[in-house]
Amino acid sequence: MNRSIRICTTLVAMSLAQAATAAPLPAAAARTLAQDTVIVDTHIDAPGILLETWADLGNSAPDREFDFPRARQGGLDVAFMSIYTSARQDEDGSAWQVANAMIDGVEALAARHPDRFALLTSPRDVERLRAGGRVLLPLGMENGAPIGDDLSRLAFFFDRGVRYITLAHSANNRISDSSYTLEKRWDGLSPFGREVVTEMNRLGIMVDVSHLSDAAVRAAIATSWVPVIASHSALRHFTPGFERNLSDALLVAIARDGGVVQIPFGTAFVNPDAAAATQAYFRAVDAFEKANLALQASGEPVRDRAAFESAWDAAHPMPATDMEAVLVQIDHAVRLAGIDHVGIGSDFDGVSGHLPEGLRSVADYPNLIAALQARGYADTDIRKILGGNLLRVWATVEDGARH
8 Å CB contact between 172 and 184: yes
CB 77 within 8 A of CB 130: yes
CB 82 to Zn ion: min, Å: 7
Phi/psi class of residue 349: alpha, beta or left (left: φ > 0; alpha: ψ in -120 to 50)?
left
Return the amino acid letter for 288. F
Nearer to Zn ion, 87 or 129 (CB): 87
> Looking at beta carbons only, is 84 or 394 nearer to Zn ion?
84
CB of 373 to Zn ion, least distance (A): 29
Minimum CB–partner distance for residue 359 and Zn ion (Å): 17
Q: How far is the CB of 374 from Zn ion (least distance, A)?
A: 29
Instruction: Provide the mask over 273-312, with x wherever binding to Zn ion is found by CB under 5 A and - wherever it is not.
Output: ----------------------------------------
Kindly identify the residues of this chain, within the stretch 338-357, that bind Zn ion according to CB under 5 A.
Answer: none
Closest approach of Zn ion to the CB of residue 176, in Å: 14
Q: Which residue lies nearer to Zn ion by CB, 170 or 201?
A: 170
* Shortest Å, Cβ 154 to Zn ion: 20
The CB-of-246 to Zn ion minimum distance in angstroms stands at: 13
CB nearer Zn ion, residue 1 or residue 95: 1
DSSP per-residue codes, 251-302: HHHHHHTT-EEEE---HHHHSHHHHHHHHHHHHHHHHHHHHHHHHHHTTPPP
Nearer to Zn ion, 86 or 389 (CB): 86
- Shortest Cβ distance from residue 169 to Zn ion (Å)? 7
Looking at residue 314, the DSSP 8-state letter turns out to be H
CB contact at 8 A, 324 and 272: no
**Euclidean distance between CA atoms 159 and 201, whole angstroms:** 14
43 vs 174, which CB is nearer to Zn ion?
43
Beta partners for residue 40, in sequence order: 78
Q: For residue 81, which phi and psi values (nearest 5 degrees)?
A: -85, 125
The span from the CA of 171 to the CA of 92, in Å, is 14
Q: Are 163 and 226 in contact (CB under 8 A)?
A: no
Count of chain residues binding Zn ion (CB under 5 A): 1
Rounded Cα distance, 139 and 141, in Å: 6
Q: Locate the DSSP E strands across 110-205.
A: 117-119, 135-137, 139-142, 162-166
CA-wise closest residue to 258 among 163, 166, 393: 393
Site residues (CB under 5 A) for Zn ion, limited to 16-75: none
Least distance CB 7 / Zn ion (angstroms)? 12
121 vs 143 by CB, closer to Zn ion: 143
| H-helix or E-strand spanning residue 43 | strand 39-44
Nearer to Zn ion, 38 or 344 (CB): 344
Round to whole Å and give the CA distance between 131 and 169.
35
**Residues in region 371-400 near Zn ion by CB under 5 A:** none
* Residue sitting closest to Zn ion (CB): 1
Contact call for residues 200 and 178 (beta carbons, < 8 A): no
Which range of residues in 1-9, 87-95, 242-250, 266-274 is near Zn ion by CB under 5 A? 1-9
Q: CB nearer to Zn ion: give 212 or 386.
A: 212
Task: Give contact residues for Zn ion (rule: CB under 5 A).
Answer: 1
